[in-house]
Structure 1
Amino acid sequence: MSNSFFNNAFINASVKKFLEKNLKDFNNIKYAYAIMSKKNPNDFAIISNRTEWFEFYTENKFQFIDPVLITASYRFTPFLWDENIMISSGLKMPKIFDMAKNYNVINGYTFVLHDHNHNLVVLSIIMDKSCDDDIEKRVVEKKNDLQMLLLEAHEKLTTLYQEINDANQAAKKSQKEILSKRENEILYWASMGKSYQEIALILGIKLTTVKYHVGNAVKKLGVTNAKHAIRLGVELKLIRPVLPDTE
């Protein structure tokens, strides 16, 4: 599984809390919210309160042989399943259920979402002996609410990850020097009140070269003139002091 595929512990804990808050009316409910890339099923993540089973599940990459996920991959509507579920070809895959029984995973109800990033997303409600006797009936009655819960949980997850991605991109961008060494030198001396002619003498370059670099800095900073570039550079601390040995 890709190390970057929805593996942030803090975000996943937040989504887990959100799911459990919205599932609290179902006593002793077990659930699994899973997301898998349809382009590369190795990219797989899961949030569940059935920790032991799904740790074993992900370690062994059972998403490749799970008939529930395989069925969900070509469906858009929720469906009930048990150990007798067959994939579209008519094949049964009993191996995974033989192991799942050891964790009291026998049957359930799965809600399906295909997102715009080519991910298959499911919310499975697992029905076991600890659930209320009428659990299947209640899930069916609440299926519209549970489908909406899947949508909201996935939106929350992707929004939180997008915020982290945007912050990381902004941090990387801020780490890059916006101004070249020469542009910085010229704006620094201009911010110190030096004229273009004086800057040319200080740096030992032509006046036209000074103006050329100022023009580049103005374009990079998205302002209209040199005064705005200097002011913005000072306010955002983009202009680095020029050390004496560079004078």
Structure 2
Amino acid sequence: MHAIVRQGNGKYYISAVFGYYRDITATDDYEKYLQKIYNQYWIVWDAEMKRLIRWNTFTQNTKEIILQILIIDSNQDNWNKNDDGVGCVDFLSKEMLDSFLDKNDQPEEILEKCRQMDAGYIYEEVQEIKEQKDIENLEWASGGFHDARIAKEELLQDGTLYLRFDGTWGCEIEVWFSGDLEYDTSSRNPDDYDPYWYGSTIILKDGFVYFVDDTDMSVEQITEEYCYFKARHMKYRIIPD
């Protein structure tokens, strides 16, 4: 698993992700609800990749919900986690992490295992949707395009359709469709309809990629009532806020 770690004001870095936890101590239902939101954090490298740190999912001590981390590679094959997705890579544990995370000097043998796990990973800003794991990665990074809207739509001279989405939590997203292109965005025309998406579905079928502005869709369900795209190729780029 890898993520864009947002530092604010457009600054960010790329890190492997080694764990995810939520510290829930409240007994009151509403306080539990708040802690589930604000007391969740990820275990990542610091900006210099010298030590492991806790990184909160959302900015603390604010009434706004500001996402601070964007998962760009969702692979958790080497994780031990519970049904809520809480856990870490198989050579760590919460007890082990709690024993050294707040220290400047951390166990070198653990840091070396983390470096080995991270070795060889290269972040490519522009990704293409080719298989199911690519769909999953974009869903993680975009939050399923919840609250997104098409801020820019342009048909380029080579026939490629360019879109820029804003409203997605923590980022904007550029998308390109090319090859036997078919699309209809009229149902999200801001002059007539609500431009903001609740969710999305991406489908790979018969050599095409389909992208539509609703959840749990099938190709057969897509009609002109939806904002949808169909093409041979779909590429995207995440632009952290």
Q: Same fold (TM over 0.5)?
A: no
Give the TM-score normalised by the residue count of structure 2. 0.25
Structure whose alpha-carbon radius of gyration is higher: 1
TM score, norm. by length of structure 1: 0.24
Relative to total residues, which structure has the larger strand share, 1 or 2? 2
